[in-house]
Structure 1
């Protein structure tokens, strides 16, 4: 893999090595536009903020208050893209609930041919926002499809608007974008629907990702809902012999199948995960199944390399107030994390 060329306009005096290596290993820059969601999936980690189901049960516990403007988001994006971090994912909560979604997504800076912008959504609001979404630089929409009936949608997400709205959102995304992908968390609540979800994806030639559960403090009570991908792997091996295993880069290992040209990815615990720097001595490492694969920017201006470690969160607001220097601050923070000195 070729290392990205660093821009000559980057400030001197900063060691960019760790950030550059992270980009080479296909690390993600995940940008949360809001912690709010119109669903309350029991397994939600909300990118390290308080998940909606926890807020519903404990009204006194609220997510961090938002403090970034659309201009702040765009400023950070311009800097990190210049620094070579170009795989950008927009998340929430549900990102399309944010009033900042439109001004941010319709003003995205050029990311170049080696970069990409991805919107991660539950699909329920895509049709409503289709007109302005069609004007964005988004390369891909990734829809979370953890259910395939009204019953499982309610059991998992506690909403009553019905699966038809989600499926219509997927169709709306297909009308707008060349690349639409699906992802599904494997769990006891949807185990009976996994074959139907796979058939749905294959019939529409939508790349598909199935994920084994990432345990967090917020979903500890549902540990019994976790199921393995073993049965699904066996099913896919009955459909194709085109299988490979990817364990390079950062994050979790994965099995990748190609069925009639459609890619189906399985993220599995037994393939291991790839840690760097401070992960080696992290006290939470035995609980972690992700490894380090993303940098997360939240709506309150914080950036952290791990959703289980709030103590590693960097406040970018002072650098935004100065009008520059956020990429340098991120590079220094990532270097410290990699070296184990945070």
Structure 2
């Protein structure tokens, strides 16, 4: 309470104040905001085929509640929001929420992670609402393998969504390709060529042991993949992204940019700048740990703004130093879709 009062008294005299700094000195300025745990795909590393144990709508944070939490975060220094799921475009009227969040003081970047199946329908509205960047999950360009991974025939819809996103003016558009056992070099090279031709940024991601599905999926270490792509495409440098966990390499002509997200083979916890808020109002402080805070209960208990600020400040101090994917992979029983990407 005392800290919040102090912040309020000095904030008018400062252009920016940042107090979301955890006990390890990391500045937390990025919120992954899940608006639904539902998804229209059933990717083998994410959610079981017949899974139906979704959060009841009564437990979802409303748009008003979401806006209140994000505004409180922003007053404490948060700058970046990524809308996630599940598949966030399944949440009714998502562009309306996006517009509300993009106009909040202090929020300088609003982006969206999507599987792309509904993107053609919503791209223009999302862009108009203030969403500026997209991450689109696309693990393969091969129709049969796409069905094997996602258990759905939807590749054509994803490709149409990507075309619609470019037409709407989204840039950059990042393609997230999860690396699973059995993937062939030719398949990766085809994705690189696809992204180069369309000026997408490709990001290769190691599978994380989140939930039974994640643990059952054999992860592919990106070290050897990175070395092969370095040689084949003349990739140089070691560009570290300022916003997320990817470490980027780029070709000398700038046409090819590939990010590598390596939570297993080379963790990036020392630079972690994010927390996750699930659709039911649970604030997860680390994707690979169980540290959490129930924000919904406080909101619906009639908390004041001061109490909400203090809750968030206290929560950030509980953020652990690093995940334990390698040491204790069995501890995360929730599925990725319920946490938020």
SS of corresponding position for 1:120: strand
Hey, what does 2:258 align to over in structure 1? 264
Q: How does 1:322-341 map to 2 (within 5 A)?
A: 322=303, 324-325=305-306, 326-337=308-319
From 180, 187, 191, the counterpart of 1:193: 187
Q: Quick check: 2:31–2:274 contact (8 Å CA) kept in 1?
A: yes
- Superposition RMSD in Å: 3.2
Q: CA deviation at 1:108?
A: 2.1
Hey, what does 1:180 align to over in structure 2? 173
| Partners of 1:124 and 1:39 in 2: CA distance | 9
| Partners of 1:130 and 1:228 in 2: CA distance | 32
Sort the Cα spacing of 1:254 and 1:157 in 2 relative to 1 into closer, same or farther, 3 A. Answer: same
Q: Quick check: 1:152–1:189 contact (8 Å CA) kept in 2?
A: no
From 28, 31, 39, the counterpart of 1:29: 31
Hey, what does 2:21 align to over in structure 1? 18
Q: CA deviation at 1:125?
A: 0.5
Hey, what does 2:277 align to over in structure 1? 297
Sort the Cα spacing of 1:328 and 1:256 in 2 relative to 1 into closer, same or farther, 3 A. Answer: farther
| Partners of 1:83 and 1:180 in 2: CA distance | 29
| Partners of 2:86 and 2:281 in 1: CA distance | 15
From 67, 71, 80, the counterpart of 1:74: 67
Unaligned runs of 5+ in 1: 1-5, 45-52, 276-290
Hey, what does 1:3 align to over in structure 2? none
Q: Quick check: 1:210–1:265 contact (8 Å CA) kept in 2?
A: yes
Hey, what does 1:120 align to over in structure 2? 113
Q: Deviations along 1:80-117, whole A, 9 cap, x unmatched?
A: 12211112111000000011513211222436798311
Provide the aligned length of Structure 1 versus Structure 2: 302
From 210, 219, 239, the counterpart of 1:216: 210
Hey, what does 2:328 align to over in structure 1? none
Normalising by the residue count of structure 2, what TM-score does the alignment of the two structures yield? Answer: 0.77
Q: Quick check: 2:134–2:171 contact (8 Å CA) kept in 1?
A: no
